[in-house]
Chain A
């Protein structure tokens, strides 16, 4: 058993199904995603079939099921960003990274995800890369921003 998942599980009472979502959140915080192995371990701990856990987790936007890339790109999908052109930014990102939301590039460098409103509507459209915010992004800016991460390498 993965020791780290085990540490998280031990913080919660065994078999307490109402802890499922907090547990999944903790695991995602730690690993960046919910692995198959983690689902099985949580299932064993809470006495839940992994199919049920997967069904529940896919219901929520917040959970990922594949490892994020080295640079995790979140595009705000909120109303304000949408109105100010997030759709075009999204198309440009898809073209540049050659992946769709929810996917990771083959070399593992980038992953791309849509997120709910980030709460900075006056700075829309908004993208967040590795926790750093880029504001007022225009489709034309996408290439430059992404390239800065490729060149910058490890961050």
Chain B
């Protein structure tokens, strides 16, 4: 039902039950806000979004106040603007003010608000925040001095990720955001997903920078620097350079990385193809024996840590297959090194991922061999953009290039791993091949696509039916975990991605983009799938060559040793 409200002496229509803020947004009036987040319950804490409502004594937070018929609202009256400006001035009064050195310089909400509200002097002198950086985590750095206590990280950690790693500690002007017992982040239950970074308005949370170590390797003549990039990076990188979301630029990435000086450029999607086959083999084998079912995917490192902490009882049914990034890392430092006659110690293996948890994964002890890490360095999409700017490369002047052989041409099934549900789709496409049947005629599964938290599909293979479900966003995963524990689940394959929407919405993706960007990235991946010639993982030539060397194909003894890993219960303060 529509109601009429009067805004700034103009009558607009609003849906009944809408908040003032969303009604104004629909009408094209922008209200500044800090603590409010789309799809989250409003808290009305920051008071930035206040408006004047006739008949109300105080200013009203528009994010939490529903509209009433004939409400008279002033959105930018002097009183309102002055109040907002004072809030920003107060936030700035104890802020470090080192914008020039800040990782979020140019992409900071506090900076933008100060600019929009024309703050031009330090009117309020406060005691500067003085906290030490929390460098402990391999993925995320916290700088409490820059925190403005909006609480968005706390809410995303609780409501979206169900991790509860951080909360408000202490009271009044001593309030900080911190972990249980105020420990460093790496001792906490943080799963490194990086969603807190995505919602942080300032530079209080950011990824651990890997550019320094990478530069050293790039300029070290003894090192062979091999890089791989994830499919979801290819559909989001262009946004960092002002392109509308949804453009796939893997060709440009290949060219750029070559210009920067990487010796070999590979595509993680190729390893995703191998991972799809390994998982299909695992699924086939386990369902035949009717043991360790349902098979739960273990490709998402944030989900893996989540399970190791809270659900160690599920670890036995998790797929032991390594994630594509680690799988390719293994191949590069074993078979590839052997074939190209390079000492694995000379290889510096870099992965570009949309994810901060991948930095953690690369440092796991299981991911090392004779003291060498399979992956030496992990960059996020944002760091790749930084690297490109650092090398002064103009993205508009670069032509498309091919990645290097052999791990350069993925199937589109491997690329689908970038969107939630894509892994299931890839496994479904190759399952008949693994079972010794013909390739399926139907390969597109609309029901596994899109941004819903839980997507299901049933696959008939011979006389048996395989039930697939793909969940993304750990709070959606909790429901399914409960079902498994209670024995109510009748799924065969469960794909779990920590971030809502999968890797396209990872914690390493460009900051300040929203749902629409995530959807556009997904669509770009689906678009690639339509156009690609190779649409089955097992038809990827690199993958079939790989398995020709391994007697027994996917799931065989040698594959188990190289491509599979193990999980163990993790003791942290829960």
* Interface residue ranges, A against B (CB under 8 Å): 36, 39-40, 43, 49-55, 58-60, 65
Q: Are B167 and A52 in contact (CB under 8 A)?
A: yes
Among A36, A40, A58, A65, find the residue whose CB has the most chain B CB atoms closer than 10 A: A58
Checking B168, B169, B171, B574 against A50 with a beta-carbon cut-off of 8 angstroms, the contacting residue is B574
Asked if B164 is at the interface of the complex by the 8 Å CB criterion, the answer is yes
Closest chain-B Cβ to A142's Cβ sits at a distance in Å of 26
Sample (28) of A-B pairs whose CB atoms are under 8 Å apart: A36-B181, A39-B181, A39-B573, A40-B573, A40-B574, A43-B574, A49-B189, A50-B180, A50-B181, A50-B573, A50-B574, A51-B164, A51-B165, A51-B167, A51-B179, A51-B180, A51-B188, A52-B164, A52-B167, A53-B180, A54-B167, A55-B167, A55-B169, A55-B178, A59-B168, A59-B170, A59-B171, A65-B181
Q: Determine the distance from Cα of A59 to Cα of B574 in the docked complex, in whole angstroms.
A: 19
Residues of chain B with a CB closer than 8 A to A50's CB: 180-181, 573-574
- Beyond the given A49-B164, A51-B165, could you list 18 further A-B residue pairs with CB under 8 A, ordered by the A residue number? A36-B573, A39-B180, A39-B181, A40-B574, A43-B574, A49-B574, A50-B180, A51-B179, A51-B180, A51-B189, A51-B573, A54-B167, A54-B181, A54-B182, A55-B168, A59-B168, A59-B171, A60-B171
Q: Which of B163-187 contact A (CB under 8 A)?
A: 164-171, 178-182
Checking B165, B166, B169, B573 against A58 with a beta-carbon cut-off of 8 angstroms, the contacting residue is B169
Residues of chain B with a CB closer than 8 A to A60's CB: 171
* Interface residue ranges, B against A (CB under 8 Å): 164-171, 178-182, 188-189, 573-574
Q: Determine the distance from Cα of A43 to Cα of B167 in the docked complex, in whole angstroms.
A: 15
Main secondary structure of the interface of A (DSSP, over half): helix
Closest chain-A Cβ to B170's Cβ sits at a distance in Å of 5
Closest chain-A Cβ to B176's Cβ sits at a distance in Å of 9
Residues of chain A with a CB closer than 8 A to B167's CB: 51-52, 54-55
Q: Determine the distance from Cα of A59 to Cα of B171 in the docked complex, in whole angstroms.
A: 5
Q: Determine the distance from Cα of A43 to Cα of B189 in the docked complex, in whole angstroms.
A: 14
Residues of chain B with a CB closer than 8 A to A54's CB: 167, 169, 180-182
Residues of chain A with a CB closer than 8 A to B574's CB: 40, 43, 49-50
Q: Determine the distance from Cα of A50 to Cα of B166 in the docked complex, in whole angstroms.
A: 10
Q: Determine the distance from Cα of A88 to Cα of B507 in the docked complex, in whole angstroms.
A: 50
Residues of chain A with a CB closer than 8 A to B168's CB: 55, 59
Closest chain-B Cβ to A83's Cβ sits at a distance in Å of 22
Residues of chain B with a CB closer than 8 A to A49's CB: 164, 180, 189, 574
Q: Determine the distance from Cα of A19 to Cα of B181 in the docked complex, in whole angstroms.
A: 20
Residues of chain B with a CB closer than 8 A to A43's CB: 574
Q: Determine the distance from Cα of A53 to Cα of B574 in the docked complex, in whole angstroms.
A: 11
Residues of chain B with a CB closer than 8 A to A39's CB: 180-181, 573
Q: Are A58 and B171 in contact (CB under 8 A)?
A: yes
Closest chain-B Cβ to A45's Cβ sits at a distance in Å of 13
Residues of chain A with a CB closer than 8 A to B189's CB: 49, 51
Closest B-chain residue to A44, C-beta based? B574
Among A39, A40, A43, A51, find the residue whose CB has the most chain B CB atoms closer than 10 A: A51
Among A39, A40, A55, find the residue whose CB has the most chain B CB atoms closer than 10 A: A55
Q: Determine the distance from Cα of A71 to Cα of B239 in the docked complex, in whole angstroms.
A: 62
Q: Determine the distance from Cα of A36 to Cα of B574 in the docked complex, in whole angstroms.
A: 10
Q: Determine the distance from Cα of A36 to Cα of B573 in the docked complex, in whole angstroms.
A: 8
Q: Determine the distance from Cα of A51 to Cα of B179 in the docked complex, in whole angstroms.
A: 6
Closest chain-B Cβ to A24's Cβ sits at a distance in Å of 14
Closest chain-A Cβ to B59's Cβ sits at a distance in Å of 27
Q: Determine the distance from Cα of A34 to Cα of B179 in the docked complex, in whole angstroms.
A: 16
Closest A-chain residue to B182, C-beta based? A54
Closest chain-A Cβ to B136's Cβ sits at a distance in Å of 16
Q: Determine the distance from Cα of A65 to Cα of B183 in the docked complex, in whole angstroms.
A: 13
Closest chain-A Cβ to B189's Cβ sits at a distance in Å of 7
Closest chain-B Cβ to A62's Cβ sits at a distance in Å of 12
Closest chain-B Cβ to A2's Cβ sits at a distance in Å of 16
- Top 3 nearest A-B pairs (CB, nearest first) are A55-B167, A49-B164, A51-B180
Q: Determine the distance from Cα of A50 to Cα of B310 in the docked complex, in whole angstroms.
A: 13
Closest A-chain residue to B163, C-beta based? A49
Q: Determine the distance from Cα of A54 to Cα of B170 in the docked complex, in whole angstroms.
A: 9
Residues of chain A with a CB closer than 8 A to B182's CB: 54, 58
Q: Determine the distance from Cα of A51 to Cα of B189 in the docked complex, in whole angstroms.
A: 9
Q: Determine the distance from Cα of A54 to Cα of B171 in the docked complex, in whole angstroms.
A: 12
